[in-house]
Structure 1
């Protein structure tokens, strides 16, 4: 005869399954392996293994963009893994780097995550391949940021639900930009939401009258890209205390607001500032 303890355990597991497949699911789908070759996994040493902590994306042959709040106190031995689809499986496409330099934006605010943009200089240039490549990012004057209602996309190895379930393989999501005025409302983010931010998620309705399923980024996706028409326009930054809340969509740092700082940090010479060393 089944004991009362086992029945209670079974009920708890069933309830957890209902929760994890309801509001907690962040939506999205598994990406086609290596279809996003710019994706980076920032990993921390845990015993003899490396554990995914944050995302990032390759913007030049020795540079990865990410979020300040991923490493506010420095690299502390973290590694950058490129060319990954599965975090656990051996993949010949993977390239592992030390962090030579970390540049966190000097005006980052830990109170509201304003200016949440950072640059990692890898210890050596990447080997460009089908699985590892750069992605273009939007520069000031180089185009326009997505309007409210525009479909954008993001990817990462972040949590699938608020119970902290993490995927082994890269996930991607297609979401929609919300208006600045909505994100600035008191019942959304209020004054925490600044001109340097975009907020986005997607509500997916079913035909049964249930609450909408929310597609959103979550813990562990931080530092990854927000893309519009294949160009990185944002950096996954933060959101609510829980992921997948209707009035707490994901917040993304607007990359084009930092063109001057990015160029200065990377030592990029622009047409208006030719190299005078010769």
Structure 2
């Protein structure tokens, strides 16, 4: 299962039987205008990009649960970045005080409920380069054919090339019935997931946890896709964020694991 972030070889072999891979990067996209997506987050380990995320409150980031199942070193959260390597005055870095993965996250079979909340160890300073983003709170499906966008610092080619600067791409929503068909992802697609992609355009390894925006709202969280990104019958799969409004509110209000 393409979890849209880079996995050690052992993990790739473990999930390979599912015919989907985890971790994602932007395929077929382009470099974003610097700081045009001020909600974007790079979650890092040892100074290296690990997964994406997006800022929803002064001290809270939404990401994908599968990114945090095998923590070995502490995470840092980088905000206000366009280039990961350049010394940009807009950057803010925080530690992670707590990670809350959804209690029903299903890593064994199909990555259902692939959502996590990261509580930062401090409150961000909101600037032009660091801003919160709104997410969909009304349950429902984005209509098939809707053109949405996603972004990240994940692979830009299927050979593992990682960009230094934020990339973005437009992808088209694919109906759940189509995405559930055997030619696509089959019965691993649940009502908590949505699919989006176009031939040669996709999220990819390293993009996991980033947002899928439709009509200005976050509708999805980058989760998984095909073993090779950008293939027309294996589009990107995104967690439908509106299914988790109550859980998000509960965690952020009480700050406890559930």
Does TM, scored on the shorter chain, surpass 0.5?
yes
**Could you say which structure has the larger radius of gyration?**
1
Query: CA contact under 8 A between 2:26 and 2:153: conserved in structure 1?
Result: no
Please give the per-residue CA displacement for 1:20-43, whole angstroms capped at 9, x wherever unaligned: xxxx98111110000000000001
Is there any run of 5+ residues in structure 1 with no aligned partner, and where? 1-23, 204-213, 269-278
Q: Using the alignment, how far apart are the partners of 1:98 and 1:232 within structure 2? A: 24
Aligned match of 1:42: 43
Match of 1:165 among 161, 164, 170: 161
Query: CA contact under 8 A between 2:54 and 2:210: conserved in structure 1?
Result: yes
Match of 2:215 among 215, 226, 229: 229
Query: CA contact under 8 A between 1:74 and 1:102: conserved in structure 2?
Result: no
Query: CA contact under 8 A between 1:38 and 1:57: conserved in structure 2?
Result: yes
Tell which has more relative contact order, 1 or 2 (C-alpha 8 A, sep 6+): 2
Q: Using the alignment, how far apart are the partners of 1:60 and 1:232 within structure 2? A: 14
The reply on whether 1:201 has 2:202 as its aligned counterpart is no
Aligned match of 1:82: 79
Question: 1:245 offset after TM fit, Å?
Answer: 1.2
Q: Using the alignment, how far apart are the partners of 1:241 and 1:42 within structure 2? A: 23
Kindly tell me the number of residue pairs found equivalent between the two proteins.
Answer: 229
Is there any run of 5+ residues in structure 2 with no aligned partner, and where? 1-24
Match of 2:172 among 169, 176, 191: 176
* Residues 123 and 139 of structure 1, relative CA distance in 2, 3 Å threshold: same
Q: Using the alignment, how far apart are the partners of 1:122 and 1:26 within structure 2? A: 30
Aligned match of 1:58: 55
RMSD: 1.5
Q: Using the alignment, how far apart are the partners of 2:86 and 2:114 within structure 1? A: 31
